[in-house]
Amino acid sequence: MNKLSRRSFLRSVGMAGAGVALAACAAPAAPAAQDSDGDDMAGDGMTGDLQIWVQHYTPTESMEQGPNNPLPHNMIQVISDEYMADHPGATIEIIRKPDNLASHEWIVTQQAGGTIPHIVWTHSFWTQDEIDKNWWIALDPFFEQPNPYVAAGDPGSERWLDQFYEIPTEAKRGPDGKHYVVPIDLVTTFFFFNQNVFDEHGLSAPSTYGEWIEVQEALLTTDTIPNARLAWYESQVGAMLYAKKDDIINADGGVASLEEVGCAMKNGLYSATDPEYGDWFRLVKQLIPYLAPDWAAEGADFNRKFLQKDVGVFEDGSWRFGYLKADPLVDFEWSTFYAPTITEADSPYAIGEAAPPIGGATAAQWALATKTEQDGIVPLAVDFLRYVTAPQNAGRMISETGTFLPNIKGVDVNPDLKEPLRAITEGLGEAGMVTYPDKIGTEQREKIAAIWTDFKLDVVTQDEAAEKINELLLEYADEAIEKNGWDCG
For 97-111, 162-176, 261-275, 430-444, which range has the lowest pLDDT when averaged over its residues? Answer: 430-444
Cα dihedral 303/308/310/314 (nearest 10): 30
Asked if residue 345 and residue 204 are part of one domain, the reply reads: yes
pLDDT surpasses 90 at 110: yes
Asked if residue 197 and residue 154 are part of one domain, the reply reads: no
pLDDT surpasses 80 at 179: yes
Asked if residue 193 and residue 173 are part of one domain, the reply reads: no
Confidence (pLDDT) at 41 = 43
Confidence (pLDDT) at 181 = 97
- Is residue 299 in a domain? yes
**For residues 277 and 461, is the Cβ–Cβ distance under 8 A?**
no
Asked if residue 387 and residue 443 are part of one domain, the reply reads: no
Domains identified in the chain, total number: 2
pLDDT surpasses 50 at 427: yes
Asked if residue 220 and residue 169 are part of one domain, the reply reads: no
| Proportion of the chain above pLDDT 70, given as a percent | 89
- Is residue 427 in a domain? no
Asked if residue 127 and residue 78 are part of one domain, the reply reads: yes
For 253-262, 308-317, 408-417, which range has the lowest pLDDT when averaged over its residues? Answer: 408-417
Asked if residue 390 and residue 273 are part of one domain, the reply reads: no
Domain containing 193: what range?
Answer: 189-358+434-484
pLDDT surpasses 80 at 22: no
pLDDT surpasses 90 at 24: no
Asked if residue 286 and residue 235 are part of one domain, the reply reads: yes
- Is residue 10 in a domain? no
- Is residue 428 in a domain? no
- The DSSP annotation for 234-266 comes to HHHHHHHHTGGGHHHHSTTSS---HHHHHHHHH
Confidence (pLDDT) at 416 = 58
- Is residue 338 in a domain? yes
- Give every strand in the sheet of 181-183, ordered side by side: 90-94, 48-53, 119-121, 365-368, 181-183
Confidence (pLDDT) at 428 = 65
Asked if residue 197 and residue 112 are part of one domain, the reply reads: no
User: In the predicted model, what is the mean pLDDT of residues 28-37?
Assistant: 40
Confidence (pLDDT) at 9 = 32
For 43-57, 186-200, 329-343, which range has the lowest pLDDT when averaged over its residues? Answer: 43-57
The conformational region for residue 208 under phi > 0 = left, psi -120 to 50 = alpha, else beta, is beta
CATH code for the domain of 285: 3.40.190.10
Q: pLDDT per residue over 367-424, tens digit each?
A: 999 999 999 999 999 999 999 999 999 999 998 988 888 999 999 776 656 667 777 7
Confidence (pLDDT) at 37 = 45
Q: pLDDT per residue over 322-367, tens digit each?
A: 788 888 889 999 999 989 999 999 999 999 998 888 877 788 999 9
User: In the predicted model, what is the mean pLDDT of residues 197-214?
Assistant: 97
User: In the predicted model, what is the mean pLDDT of residues 193-218?
Assistant: 97
Asked if residue 299 and residue 238 are part of one domain, the reply reads: yes
Q: Does residue 213 or residue 338 have the better pLDDT?
A: 213
**For residues 401 and 56, is the Cβ–Cβ distance under 8 A?**
yes
Asked if residue 170 and residue 279 are part of one domain, the reply reads: no
Asked if residue 335 and residue 384 are part of one domain, the reply reads: no
Mean pLDDT of the chain, nearest integer: 88
Confidence (pLDDT) at 184 = 95
d(CA 198, CA 385): 45
- Is residue 418 in a domain? no
pLDDT surpasses 50 at 14: no
- Is residue 424 in a domain? no
d(CA 419, CA 357): 11
Nearest-5° Cα angle at 220, 216 to 225: 85
In angstroms, the Cα distances linking 13 to 45, 143, 263, 370 are 47, 33, 34, 41
